[in-house]
């Protein structure tokens, strides 16, 4: 049972580190659609 728990913990640690490396090195593309909206003055308190 201890080997199973240790293996699952090692697998979780490996997946977490792999996900972190993936997010750190992944080139996230910039948005290509330009959005211009006019916000009414009523939405902001004075």
Rounded mean pLDDT for each run of 10 residues along the chain, 46 residues in total: 94 97 91 87 80
Q: What is the pLDDT of residue 46?
A: 72
Cα separation, 9 vs 17, whole angstroms: 12
Question: How many CA within 13 A on the CB side of residue 10?
Answer: 6
Look at residue 39 in the predicted model and tell me its pLDDT.
86
pLDDT at residue 10 in the model: 97
Q: How far apart are CA 43 and CA 46, in angstroms?
A: 10
Helical ranges in 1-46 per DSSP H: 2-25
């Amino acid at each position: 049972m201890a080997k199973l728990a240790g293996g699952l913990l090692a697998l979780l640690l490996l997946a977490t580190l792999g996900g972190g490396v993936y997010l750190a090195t992944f080139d996230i593309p910039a948005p290509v659609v330009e959005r211009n909206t006019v916000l009414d003055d009523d939405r902001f308190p004075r």
